[in-house]
Amino acid sequence: MPAEEADVTKLKLRILCGILAGLLLTGCSLFKGGDKTDPDAVDPNATAAATEDPALNPIAPPEGDPAENPSGSQSGEPADPSGSDPSPIEANPVDLPTPVVPDPGSSGTSEPTGTGTDAEAGGTRVTGIELDRYIVAVQVGKSEMPIVTMLPSTALDVGEIWTSDDTAVATVSTYGKITGVAPGECRVTVRSTDNPDVKATVDVTVVEDQDIIHVKQITLDKYECNILVGLSDMPWVTMYPINAQDKGEIWTSDDTSVATVSQYGHIMGVGPGTCTVTVRSKDNQDVTAKVTVNVKIGETVKEPTYIDGTLIVNRTYALPKTYNPGVSAEAKAALDELIAGASEDGLSFWIESGFRSYEQQLNLYNTYVGREGKDSADRYSARPGHSEHQSGLAFDLNSFDDNFDKTPEGQWLAAHAWEYGFTLRYPKDKEDITGFMYEPWHVRYVGKELAQKLHDSGKVLEEYFDITSVYAD
Where on the chain is the footprint of Zn ion (CB under 5 A)?
A: 40, 396, 442
Q: How far is the CB of 465 from Zn ion (least distance, A)?
A: 20
Tally Cβ neighbours within 10 Å of residue 399.
22
CB nearer to Zn ion: give 356 or 371: 356
Got the DSSP string for 36-67?
TT-SS---TT--PPPPS-GGGS--PPPTT-GG
CB closer to Zn ion out of 157 and 396: 396
Backbone angles phi, psi at 225, to 5 degrees: -125, 130
Please identify the residue of the shown chain whose CB is closest to the bound Zn ion.
Answer: 442
- Candidate list 439, 449, 462, 463, residue with the active-site label: 439
Smallest distance, Zn ion to C-beta of residue 396, A? 4
To Zn ion, the closest distance from the beta carbon of 376 in angstroms equals: 17
**Radius of gyration (Cα) for the chain, nearest Å?**
28
CB of 395 to Zn ion, least distance (A): 7
C-beta separation of 158 from 106 below 8 A: yes
Query: Least distance in Å: CB of 277 to Zn ion?
Result: 32
The nearer residue to Zn ion, 287 or 454, going by C-beta atoms, is: 454
**Based on CB atoms, which residue is closest to Zn ion, 430 or 442?**
442
**Amino acid identity, position 215:** V
DSSP state of 163: E
Taking the least distance from each CB to Zn ion, the nearer of 156 and 351 is 351
Q: Which is nearer to Zn ion, 194 or 396 (CB)?
A: 396
CA distance 64 to 145: 11
DSSP state of 125: P
What are the b/e assignments for 189-222, b being 16+ CB within 10 Å?
A: ebbbbbbeebebbbebbbbeeeeeeebeebebeb
Active site residue 130: no
Smallest gap, in angstroms, from Cβ of residue 401 to Zn ion?
13
Q: How far is CA 137 from CA 169, 183, 186, 205, 465, in A?
A: 12, 10, 11, 5, 67
> Across 282-350, where does the E strand assignment appear?
288-296, 305-307, 310-312
Give the residue numbers marked as catalytic: 439
